[in-house]
Structure formats: structure tokens, C-alpha cells
Amino acid sequence: MSDSNSYTVTIFSGDDASDAQKAQAAERFCAALEAQLGDASLVAPMYVMYQRLVNTFGETPDVEVMNDAEREVFESWQLAESAAMQAAFGTHRYLDEGGYQLRIL
């Protein structure tokens, strides 16, 4: 588990990764997420906004029905999440290999 001032990330792995390996993956995940979004302080608010958009428009919405600000948040989070997943699990990961839980503090 990695933890910032405003959120924590727990990595779940489909393989037999040790707790230390999962902690390292969480650190890589957070670093990539923060770098992609621009700052650690943006992770929690962007995640909350993204979750609201998913609740409103669904997991794979037609982004044309979103206003510009909603689309920007949605697409920015998806890019950041993709970069973080790649950092944590590698470029050739499969969907059943692992995931994460982000919790706002």
C-alpha cells in the first residue's frame, strides 16, 4: 500500500507477488498517476470527479454528451490511470493479473 496525504492505493495481484513487491508496485502506480495529473494534490479531487462522471454517464460513456470540463476530467483520469497501471504491472499485463483500490482519506 502506498499512501499520500490525501489518498492510499492498494495493489491486488493475480500472481504470487510478495507484500514488498506489491508495495513497490503501489509506489510506481502513485508516482505515475501523480506525474500524469501534474501533482499529488490533484489525485483525490480528480478521482472523486471521475467517479461522479462514471456514476452519471457510465464506464464507457459517449463523451460527446459531456461538457468540455467533464470530458477533460474523464479523459485525463483515464490517461493517468492507464499510465499508472502500466507503471505498476508492466506494459504486457492482462486484465486478470491485478488491479488497485484507491481510497480517499
User: Is residue 1 scored above 80 in pLDDT?
Assistant: no
What is the overall mean pLDDT for the chain?
90
**pLDDT at residue 3, rounded to an integer:** 61
The CA distance from 35 to 81, in Å, is: 11
Mean pLDDT of 13-25: 84
Q: How far is CA 67 from the centre of its chain?
A: 22
- As a whole number, mean pLDDT of residues 45-69 equals 95
Per-residue pLDDT tens for 76-101? Answer: 999 999 999 999 988 766 555 678 99
Q: In sequence order, what are the residues at sequence separation of 6 or more whose Cβ sits closer than 8 angstroms to the Cβ of residue 26?
A: 1, 2, 9, 10, 11, 88, 100
Q: Is the pLDDT of residue 37 over 60?
A: yes
